Structure 1
Amino acid sequence: MGCHIDGFIALVAHTHVIQDGPITGRKADVIAAANTAAEVALRLVRPGKKNHAVTEAIQKVAEAYDCKIAEGVISHQMKQNVIDASKSFLSVSTPETRVDDAEFEENEVYAIDIVASTGDGKPKLLDEKQTTIYKKDAAVNYQLKMKASRFIFSEIKEKFPHMPF
């Protein structure tokens, strides 16, 4: 769930398991791994700390619970009207995915995303769905040819100048 006030974004997500009785076994392990990894990341995102140190710590937490962190999940810095600013860190580092080295600074804001798995940590496409959330890239100058395309884009620029829609 997310909202913004004057372009300052707030996001939140949490997993709830609905069942009678306590959660046990591998379900409990993966939930505890994700929760602990998020808490560790929260404590490491401090001025002067490096983004790769957070990635390494998240990995160690998952290993302690005999779980894997899902590949391709990136935590982004957020700025006013920008949901995915330039600084970021990976939850798990692979040869295919890299982010630039960065140091956290005072008054920066981050959306920390942690996804844990009892499997191999490689997301699988089970059923392809249509995209329902879009975001305009402010860095791109769109040259649209069709009148209908220009009209739609004009509406998007007016109603959703910065945020996903």
Structure 2
Amino acid sequence: MVKLRPIEKRDNHAVGEIVQESLEKRGLNLPGTAYYDPYLFSLYDYYQKPNHAYWVLDKEGKVIGGGGIGSFGQSETVGELQKLYISDQEQGKGYGHLLMKKALEFAEENYGACYIDTFAALDTANNLYEKYGFKKLSEPLEGSEHNACDTWYLYEEFW
């Protein structure tokens, strides 16, 4: 059985590995991606900030994925869907929907819109974003940290 729960300090390494393994397998372990985020292996501490949250998927005591919401740059009204990754062997089982619902619920309580930058090659993820109402942008929002990304989405259904 899979539980969705807030990240704990003990989850840091497992989540960091899932993110890096996923990007490596797709040839996306590039500078300007989550792969090189300086806080990737200390997400628990990073998400203790106000209006930030990160959840993990816990399957019988093992972390199999996670996703979070944080502020986008200096904006107080735009949140960002961050580091939504599920281990390859657990994909296709509906777990992305658990994370998306929780993340958007949190984003709606704390922000006016939600942004994500990603890659066109991640078509399964992009289909998920579009299914939940994210609209594709022609360019990144100003202030995007992941400058290697080539696809950007914005969710404005809160307004």
TM-score w.r.t. length of structure 1: 0.30
Q: Which has the higher helix share?
A: 2
TM-score relative to the length of structure 2: 0.30
Larger Rg computed on CA atoms: 1
The structure carrying a bigger strand percent of its residues is: 2
